[in-house]
Amino acid sequence: MKPLQGVKVVDLTTYLAAPTTVRVLGEWGADCVKIESAKGDPARTQGAVFNMPFLDDENLAFDVANMNKRFITLNLKSEKGREIAYKLLGEADVFVTNTRTKSLKNLGLDYDTLKEKFPKLIFAQVLGYGENGPEKDTAGFDVTCYMARGGVFGTTVNRGDAPMIPTNGFGDFQVSLALASGICAALYSREKTGMGDKITISLHHAAVYALSTGLISAQYGNQYPKNRREVPNPFNNVYRTKDGKWLVLCCPEYDRDYEKIFTLLGRPDMIGNEKYIHCAEVNNNNLNTEVTGILDEAMANFTRDELMAMFKANDLACEAAYEPNDIYKDEQAHANHVLAKIPYPSGERFMPTNPVNFGSMGVPEYFIGGSQGAHTVEIMKELGYSEDEIKEALENGAATGETKLRKL
C-alpha cells in the first residue's frame, strides 16, 4: 500500500515549486487534481526556453512537476467555476497553491475563507518572501527569491567572478520536498485533532536555511563569498585536472591527511614541512593561497579518473564534478533509481525521481501529465454533475474540456 493512498489533493499551482510538491504526493499514492484557468499553467510552454519539445504527448518541462495528476480547467472568476472548485475542496484533504494571497482572496480561496467552509482541510502555500514584511505581495521566482535574496548567488560564487548560472528550479525542487513533509506532518496531526492547518513555505526562507553554516559562521568573521585559493582548508576545495575536468576533494581533517595526500601526489618536498603541515598555522599565517597553488600544480599532473582511483583507494573523500551527461551514465544513479526512464514518442527520456524512498512501496509508478482539461468531464461526473449540467458549464465557460497545445 502506498503511504498516502486515499488522500485527496487539489492543486492550484503554476511553474515548479508548488506543483512539484503535488507530484511528490501523487507518487506517494495521493489522488491529485490540478485546476487550471483557460490560459493554462505557463509551465506547459516552458519547454521552448530549454530547447525541448512542448507537446501534449512529450513535454518534460511540464511533466517534471506534474506527473501523477488529473487535470480540470475552471473559470474561478465565475460563480459556477467556484462552485465546482468548492465541491472538489469539500472532498479533499489538502489544497496546494502558489497563488498570491491577494488573488486568493479575490477568488474566495484564501485560507480564512476555506477554513470556515472546510475546517478539516490542510491549506499549503508556497510564497516568494513569506507572509509578512514589505515584500509579502511581491512577485518572485526561484532565481529572485531563493538564489538572489536568499543569499545563494552572493555566497556560493567564487569571489571576484560572476554568480553561477543555475539550472531553473534549483531552489524550487528543494522547497517542494520541504512542503511535502509539512503536509504529511499536518495529515498526521489531523488524525489526532480532527482539524486542518495552514502550512506556508517561502523560497526566500528555504534558501537562508540551506545556507545555515555560512549564516552562523559569518557572525564570527568567516565571511562569504570566498575565493577558492583562500579557503580555510585547502583539502576542501575544487581542482582542475590534467584533462580539463574538475575534481572535488573533501578531507576535513587536514593535519591527519596532509602527508598521505602529498605523498600520493608525488610531492616529497611537502612531507614534514612544518610551514604547511598544520591547518591552524596555514590560516594564522595566511598561507592558504600558497598551499592551494601547490595543490593546483600537483593535481594538474593527473587526469580526473587517475585522481579518483588514487584517492578512493586510500579512503580519501573525493568526487567528480558531474554534468548532466555524466549523470545519465552513472551506474550509482541507476542502481538507486535516481533516474526513471519515461517513454515518449521520441524515445525513452530520463526523469529525476524524488529522493525519498519507502521500503514498503517499492519503485513509484509514473503517470505522464495529460492535456489541459483532459479530465474535466470525468471529474465533474465524479462530483455528481449530470450530463446536462456538465454541458451547460462547458458552454458558458465555467469549465473547459480537453485543450490541446498548438504545434508551432
How far apart CA 91 and CA 208 sit, in angstroms, is 36
Residue 123 makes CB contacts below 8 A (sequence gap 6+) with: 95, 111, 114, 115, 196, 197, 198, 199
How far apart CA 136 and CA 127 sit, in angstroms, is 8
- For 210: left if phi > 0, alpha if psi spans -120 to 50, otherwise beta; the answer is alpha
57 classed as catalytic: no
The letter for the amino acid at 1 is: M
Q: Which residue has the cell 555566497?
A: 155
- For 191: left if phi > 0, alpha if psi spans -120 to 50, otherwise beta; the answer is alpha
> 226-231: which pairs have CB atoms within 8 A and are 24 or more residues apart?
226/158, 226/159, 227/158, 227/159, 227/160, 228/158, 228/292, 229/288, 229/289, 229/292, 229/293, 230/159, 230/288, 230/289, 230/292, 231/288, 231/292
Cell of 322: 558531474
> Is 210:178 a contact under the CB 8 Å cutoff?
no
> From the candidates 41, 93, 110, 172, which is the catalytic residue?
172
Buried b (16+ CB within 10 A) or exposed e, 193-203: eeebbebbbbb
User: What torsion, rounded to 10 degrees, do the Cα atoms 56, 61, 66, 68 define?
Assistant: 70
Q: Catalytic positions, please? A: 172
